[in-house]
Amino acid sequence: MYEVEVKLPADHERVRRRLDELGAAHEATVEQRDTYYDAPHRSFSETDEALRIRRVRRDGETDARVTYKGPLVDDASKTREEVETGVEDVDAMARVLDRLGFDPVATVEKRREVYALDGYTVVLDAVEGLGEFVEVERESAEIDAAREGAFDLCRDLDLDPDDQIRASYLELLLE
Amino acid sequence: MYEVEVKLPADHERVRRRLDELGAAHEATVEQRDTYYDAPHRSFSETDEALRIRRVRRDGETDARVTYKGPLVDDASKTREEVETGVEDVDAMARVLDRLGFDPVATVEKRREVYALDGYTVVLDAVEGLGEFVEVERESAEIDAAREGAFDLCRDLDLDPDDQIRASYLELLLE
């Protein structure tokens, strides 16, 4: 299975109106705060790795997880190892990383609204310091078909697939 | 508050009989497996730090936590910083540490029976590769009084406080 994802800048109010007209189901709204770390003994921007603590607030509840992302295994398929676990005390986890010599290098904060439509997940991200984005995504073994479907869905939402951006929010923030 | 602790080798069957005669309450029996890591960029045995993943099995349930222990702040009081959080997926946590370059250097496995007696916690540890130990401990602001009380309790259990050992299980295993 592959994660097929199309991301583009978009005005949320207009997209929400279209989602409503098309009968999309609002599934969740969460606030995410991601802190990215660099290692004391190598540079993750050079090794193409990432270490992240994500704090998620949802319906007044908070949970958190720590995630390691390995370098791209294969550039064409954008496959990388991702290892993740929930943690009970996120401040303690951050302190452990600090004591081990890992430095926070960037924070990505966003408000994320999640909708379901036609087998796709449509995500409206309001990213602090970057603005409003929409992601259309699904898991599929059929990459090309899934991507074409995502492009069609973008058009249904009055969005132009050519506006697609491939950089991560972290990369956009560090630019 | 200080953690006052007296640890000594002891035959568990005899100690259990004395605990029973003295009316001690059995509180829990847990199995703990501790994996200690060394860092890629410094030697924890030289810096007097520790990074540990502890897996605990109790009544068929498993939980786990990751702990960082800093160097001794002050040799007399044996005070060191300890930062700890529970983790949901302990194998993922171990994999994150592996990917970041941390190496497991030692594993301490023990079966721990916990009793309460006269305001003290009496712990019977059966440590793989080391044998049977008893720890008598309590938190107290009055270190000397608490230590004397612990010695008295050892004698009540037919144990000789002079048999006390100060090394950690990890240190004993690495010796």
The pLDDT-based confidence of B72 (bands split at 50, 70, 90) is confident
Close Cβ partners of B170 (under 8 Å, ≥ 6 residues apart): B34, B36, B50, B106, B108
- Which of A40, A81, A85 comes nearest B93 by C-beta? A85
| pLDDT at res. B50 | 94
The pLDDT-based confidence of A75 (bands split at 50, 70, 90) is low
| pLDDT at res. B98 | 97
| pLDDT at res. B167 | 85
Q: What is the pLDDT of residues B19-33, one digit of tens each?
A: 999 999 999 999 999
Instruction: Tell whether the model's pLDDT for residue A93 goes beyond 80.
Output: yes
User: Which residues in chain A touch residue B85, judged by CB atoms under 8 angstroms apart?
Assistant: 87-90, 92-93, 96
CB A124 within 8 A of CB A16: yes
Partners of B3 in beta bridges? B139
Continuous H helices in chain B: 12-21, 44-47, 90-99, 143-156, 169-174
| pLDDT at res. A30 | 96
User: Which residues in chain B touch residue A97, judged by CB atoms under 8 angstroms apart?
Assistant: none
Q: What is chain A's mean pLDDT, rounded?
A: 92
Instruction: Tell whether the model's pLDDT for residue B66 goes beyond 90.
Output: yes
- State the pairing for strand pair A61-74/B50-58: unpaired
Domains along chain B with CATH numbers: 2-174 (2.40.320.10)
Taking the CA of residue A27 and the nearest CA in chain B, the distance in Å comes to 24
Taking the CA of residue A91 and the nearest CA in chain B, the distance in Å comes to 9
Q: What is chain B's mean pLDDT, rounded?
A: 92
Q: Which two tokens stand for residue B145?
A: 């009084």
Instruction: Tell whether the model's pLDDT for residue B156 goes beyond 90.
Output: yes
| pLDDT at res. B77 | 53
Rounded to whole angstroms, how far apart are CA atoms B26 and B121? 10
Instruction: Tell whether the model's pLDDT for residue B76 goes beyond 60.
Output: no
Tell me the mean pLDDT in the region A141-166. 92
Close Cβ partners of A152 (under 8 Å, ≥ 6 residues apart): none
Quick one: which of B84, B53, B89, B97 has its CA closest to A84?
A: B89
**Contact across the interface for A88 and B89, Cβ inside 8 Å:** no
Residue B151, phi then psi, degrees to nearest 5: -65, -45
Q: What three-state secondary structure class fits B88?
A: coil
User: Which residues in chain B touch residue A90, judged by CB atoms under 8 angstroms apart?
Assistant: 85
Taking the CA of residue B94 and the nearest CA in chain A, the distance in Å comes to 10
Rounded to whole angstroms, how far apart are CA atoms A54 and A155? 32
| pLDDT at res. A74 | 61
Q: What is the pLDDT of residues A116-137, one digit of tens each?
A: 999 999 999 999 999 999 999 9
CB environment A106-144: b (16+ within 10 A), e (fewer): eebbbbbbbbebeebebbbbebeebebbbbbbbebeeee
User: Which residues in chain A touch residue B81, judged by CB atoms under 8 angstroms apart?
Assistant: 99
Quick one: which of B125, B164, B100 has its CA closest to A102?
A: B100
CB A78 within 8 A of CB A93: no
Q: Which of A36, A115, A120, A169 is catalytic?
A: A36
Tell me the mean pLDDT in the region B61-90. 85
| pLDDT at res. A164 | 93
Quick one: which of A38, A101, A43 has its CA closest to B47?
A: A101
| CA-to-CA dists, residue B1 to A38, A93, B146, B168, angstroms | 36, 24, 11, 21
Rounded to whole angstroms, how far apart are CA atoms A171 and A112? 18
Q: What is the pLDDT of residues B82-137, one digit of tens each?
A: 899 999 999 999 999 999 999 999 999 999 999 999 999 999 999 999 999 999 99
Taking the CA of residue B147 and the nearest CA in chain A, the distance in Å comes to 31
B90 touches chain A (CB under 8 A): yes
Burial of B162 (0-12, 13-18, 19+ CB in 10 A): exposed
Residue A64, phi then psi, degrees to nearest 5: -150, 155
CB A99 within 8 A of CB A91: no
| Residue in B closest to A50 by C-alpha | B100
B63 touches chain A (CB under 8 A): no
Say how many C-beta atoms besides its own lie within 10 A of residue A11's C-beta.
Answer: 13
Q: Which of B36, B37, B120, B169 is catalytic?
A: B36
Q: Which of A37-41, A59-63, A92-96 has the lowest mean pLDDT?
A: A59-63
| pLDDT at res. A86 | 98
**Contact across the interface for A66 and B96, Cβ inside 8 Å:** yes
Q: What is the pLDDT of residues A50-70, one digit of tens each?
A: 999 999 999 888 999 999 999
Rounded to whole angstroms, how far apart are CA atoms A34 and A63? 12
CB A109 within 8 A of CB A126: no
Rounded to whole angstroms, how far apart are CA atoms B149 and A164? 71
B81 touches chain A (CB under 8 A): yes
